[in-house]
Structures are given as C-alpha cells and as structure tokens.
A and B are shown apart, each in its own frame.
Chain A
Amino acid sequence: MAHQINVFAQNQPGRLESLTEVLKEEGVNIRAITIAGVDEYGVIKLLVDDPRKAHEVLQREGFSSFMKEVIAVIMDDRPGGLHHICRALGNKGVNIEDAYGFVVQDRRTAVLVVEVEKIPEAEEVLLGAGFEVMSDQELYSL
C-alpha cells in the first residue's frame, strides 16, 4: 500500500509555490502531482518519495495536510496498459474515484495511482489479476 499527500489549498496565485517551497527546503522529491479543483479551493495531491516526512513538515508549516492510502500499481507503458487494469477492477465492480499515472521508464514501465473506497479488496483484485502493487518503500526506490 502506498500513501499520497492531500493538501487543502485555496485557488489563489502562489499557493502551490509556497507548498513546493516547503518540500524543496526539506528535500522531499515529488514523483507525481495532480490538483482536484472544486471552486475557490482545491485539493493538491502529491506522490512523494517520503510521504510521512512530507506530511509532517506540511502540517508543521500550517497546511491542512492529510496522508491518504492509495494503490500504486505497475503497468506496461504501451497501448492497452491502463485498459488491462481498468478491466480487472471494473469486472469486479470496483469503482475508481480518482486516478493519475506517470511514466517510470519510457515505453517500458509506468505507475497508475488509484483512489478507491475499499483499498484491501481492490488490492486483492489487482494481485489476483497478476498486477504488481507497490509500497511506499518500493516507490521510494524507483
């Protein structure tokens, strides 16, 4: 199981900058980022090499930060890679609430991060279908 950092942020110039500055100062490396915008506010979602440390420093700096469990699953970086994962989850009735991906090795390996309601069940489905699910440690060493 992997962890993602969710940070509540107002939709204003400079908000992301102040957040990335904190992470830079603390030497936290960002693997992936996505922002779920709602209106005048949004949620910044970060996949980092050290989620625990990132969460702690963000909280210390006054951010409304939350460490959330997600599934990081390895997929092939070629046509159909994402489709296979979605089919496996869809067949078992697992609803994907949010997802994003990033490439680790060009045309070979990519990672899909999925948010689902029931993490253990979804993980079981993916493992049963032969996919590789990563822990924080494994993400760290990518």
Chain B
Amino acid sequence: MHKSAPYLRPKTSHCVGTRIRATTFLYLQGHRIYIINVMSKDYWNPEIELLNREEIEALQLRRLKEVLERCTRSPFYREWFTGAGFDPTKVGSLQDIRRLPLMDKDTLRGEDPARFLTVPSDDIVRMHSSSGTTGQATVIFHTAADIQAWAELGARCMYMTGVRRSDVFQNMMGYGLFTGGLGFHYAAETLGAMVIPAGSGSSKRQVQLMRDFGTTVIHIIPSYALYMLEVFEELGLDPREDTQLRILLIGAEPHTEGLRSRVEEAYGADAYNSYGLSEMSGPGVSFECPAKEGMHLWEDSFLLEVLDPDSQEPVKEGEEGELVFTSLHREGMPLLRYRTRDLSFVYPDTCSCGRAHRRISRIKGRTDDMFIVKGVNIFPMQVERILLGILGVGSNYRIVLDTIGVMDEMRVMVEVSGELWHGEVRELKQLRDRIVTELRQEILLTPIVELVEPGALPQGEGKAVRVEDKREHMRGG
C-alpha cells in the first residue's frame, strides 16, 4: 500500500480497503462507463465533487431522465404519472419535474412499499424503516447497487471532513432499522478506515474501546457526545488527553452552533454536522466540509427544491423553505419530489473548499410537529395513540422534551384521575410500567413517565398537541 500516493476511490465495492495507484480508472454508473483522470488527495471522488454548476445540472438532468424512465416500471409511479397527466419522456429540463405532485410520508404510508419498486423484488437486499413499528413506519428498499451508492456517498462525506484509511472509526450510532448505524458502517469500510461497530449505549465500554484501539473518529448523536463527557469525567479521564479523537461526526439530531463549539472544545476535536433522512437512504445526503459553513448536498444524487411549504412554489434564492428531494441515483425505490418537512435555506455563495455542490443550512425547524429525540423521529400522534389506549379519552397528559444533565430526555406526564386508579399503591407502579413499555415498543425509545395529580397539567384543548420542547440545544445560539 502506498500511503503517500494520491488517494483514489476504489473501482468497485469488492476493492473495499484497497487503493489504486493509477492515473485513470473506470467509473461504473448504471450502464455507463466513465474514464476519469487523476485527482487531488483532498477529494474522495474529485470528478464528481469538483463538477461546476453547469456540469452538475447536466448530470442531474441525465440522471433525472434515467430515474423517470426507471419509475415507469413501478406500479405506483405508473399510476402517479397517469394521475398527474405526466409524460416522463417529455422532460427536457430540471424544472419539468415540477409538473409532478409532491409526495410525503403519508404517500409512503398509504401504499404497499413494494409497489414503488422499479426492480424485481428478488433484487432487493436490504430494507430500512423509520421509527414507528405499528403501521406508521415508512419503509425504504435497497438493491445491492443502492447500498453501494449510499456507502460511496457516506465515504465522500467522511473523506471530506478528513477521515482517511489510517483512521479508527468508532460508530456510536444504533445499528438496525435506524439508518445511522449501518449507513456509516458501510461508508467507513468503503473508505478503508477500521470500523469499531460499537453501536449506541454502554458508555464506559465505549471509552474502553476508544482507548484500547486508539479511536480517532466517532460518529455520534450530539446529545450523546455531551453525555459521554460526564462518563469521561466519572472515569477520571479527559478526552483531550486520554484519547486520540480528532474528528467527531455529529448528526441525526438538530443542534446549535453553540453545542458544536462545546463538543469541539471538550473533545479537542473537529465536529462536523450531518443531514440525512431515511427516505433518502440515511446519512450521506449532505455534510459539512472543513469550512463548516453549511452542509454540501450531493447534487449528483439528489435534486433539491426549496419550496414555500404553503404555496409549494420555489422560494427566492437564499430564502428559507422546505427541503424537497428527488433521489437521482437510487434504483430500487426512487422517490420523486419528496417533502422532508425540514426548513432550511441554501447558501447563495460558493464555498471556499472548491465544491460547487450547494450548501444547506442547519435545519431551522419543521413544518409538521415531528420531534427528534436521541436520533429517533417521533410523531406526537404515535405517543397520543398509545396514551389514549391506556388512559382512555379525556385523560390529561403532557410530553416534555428536556435536557437532563446533557442528555435529551423525553418525559411523559400523566394525570392520575379517579378513572385510572382504584386506590392501590401497586397499581400506580403498574400503570407507569405499562406506559413505559408500550411507548418503548412504539417509539423505540424509553421515556421517563411521571404520574402527577389531577389538575397539575395545563388543560389540553381538543386535539391540541401536548408537546413542550425545553431542550437547551433547540434554543438559538
């Protein structure tokens, strides 16, 4: 291995962990073959990362046409196109996509996910699902090529922040249906770093792993990064002195610039923000470069629209709006004009790093009432449904999101009315345990449940959402 050689991306996935020293190599994309010249060591995939605007948009249009053609093989999209009077063969510009209606989580929920497939179901090798295990979940199917393309995007992000083959990457995200764990696991292997698939939790063991194997990069939810500082302190350790950490990839949870600064200071490492969503495969959609001014969206793979959430018209350049994505590079289950509900803006100027892929700002908020705790997307309706099932209609409760110590906590406060309780002490414990268990099954997160006296909570009005977000890092700064 020639460590001093220019770092090139591997040709195919079975070259994972190897690096080719050459002046040209083949780039396989669908049925096309590109021959690419060499390349700077600052970019994982310079031929894509260094495209100028014109080239990016030309590539987008070509891929958009491909993906629309592909969608005609899907039962869902055939109906979708017919219903909209949309002829995919008549698309001549990127703006023509606007002739299609927007889709959202409800579009996915309302359909058998298999009807979105543009490939035979045998070609599917993986599924991921967002939180919500009982009918509310949204499912995304991936082919082997999708997994590979996703890993390539993740590797591009990681490489951009400075991760290299010599790094030891401890992945402290949950593995499983959640895309945060497996997504960057494959990305780091594609890049060629050594992966410690630690998963989330077992905090003292995490520290032990970092020290035993000389971890240099971690992928972690920001609130967990703060919590880990307490664990270090408890162990009498200082991450600046007692670990070799140099890069923190923090994502899956909205956070402020202030929180990033705290984390960077305490760990003595650079922290980079990430934005992704399981509907667009997961992490790897957009990531900060060393300039740390907005997250580069990989526009070879995603077509971005920033729309006014009400009028659904594009906002003026640089204005805040809802992010809407079309996947340009996913073959199993492409999504067209998918509403994220996330509010952000696009930086109008070009980045000092040389990449013309546009940058989106930190997520400013959401157009719906979904909230994110510890990387898990939670809709108040999920919580409401469970609570109504246990407590009955008319019972008063409140969901409070708070920062306890440094960790995000979800507290559910329930008024114990006469209908819920028959005077026994043990009933109260049973009631609390039941609420915890049923909520955990639904939202894949263990909430704190507090029983309170009747009248202790503000009255919820009708179907009003009873969620209060008091988290420090959700406030400005």
**A residues apposed to B, CB below 8 Å:** 6, 8-10, 15, 36, 38, 40-41, 43, 59, 62-68, 98
Contact = CB atoms under 8 A, between A and B. Distances in A.
B422 A10 contact: no
Contact of A38 (B418, B423, B429, B454): B429
B421 A8 contact: yes
**A-B complex: 6 closest residue pairs judged by Cβ atoms:** A66-B423, A6-B423, A68-B423, A36-B425, A62-B455, A43-B425
B9 to A, nearest CB: 55
Interface in B53-85: none
Contacts of B429: 38
Contacts of A43: 423, 425, 428
Interface size class of B (residues with CB under 8 A): 10 to 19
Contacts of A68: 423-424
B454 A64 contact: yes
Contacts of B418: 59, 64-66
A20 B138 CA distance: 53
A98 B425 CA distance: 10
Interface in B350-365: none
- Interface-centre pick from B424, B425, B429, B450 (highest chain A CB count, 10 A): B425
27 contacts: A6-B423, A6-B425, A8-B416, A8-B428, A9-B453, A10-B452, A10-B453, A38-B428, A38-B429, A40-B450, A40-B451, A41-B450, A43-B423, A43-B425, A43-B428, A59-B418, A62-B453, A62-B454, A63-B453, A64-B417, A64-B418, A64-B421, A64-B454, A65-B418, A66-B418, A66-B423, A68-B423
B425 A64 contact: no
A28 to B, nearest CB: 18
Q: Is the interface of A mostly helix, strand, loop or mixed?
A: strand
A6 B450 CA distance: 19
A43 B427 CA distance: 11
B186 to A, nearest CB: 43
Given A8-B421, A64-B421, 16 more contacts: A6-B424, A8-B428, A8-B451, A8-B453, A9-B453, A36-B425, A38-B425, A38-B429, A41-B416, A43-B423, A62-B453, A64-B453, A65-B418, A66-B418, A68-B423, A98-B425
B456 interface: yes
A104 to B, nearest CB: 25
B430 to A, nearest CB: 11
A22 B424 CA distance: 22
B456 A10 contact: yes
Contacts of A10: 452-453, 456
A9 B454 CA distance: 9
Interface string B444-472: 00000011111110000000000000000
A66 B421 contact: yes
A68 to B, nearest CB: 4
Given A10-B453, A10-B456, A40-B450, A67 B423 contact: yes
- Interface-centre pick from A8, A40, A66 (highest chain B CB count, 10 A): A8
Interface string B404-431: 0000000000001110011111001100
B318 to A, nearest CB: 48
A41 B451 contact: yes
Nearest to A61: B455
Contact of A63 (B451, B452, B454): B454
Contacts of A66: 418, 421-423
Contacts of B453: 8-10, 15, 62-64
A59 B417 CA distance: 10
A41 B426 CA distance: 12
A40 B450 CA distance: 8
Nearest to A62: B455
A8 B455 CA distance: 12
A8 B428 CA distance: 9
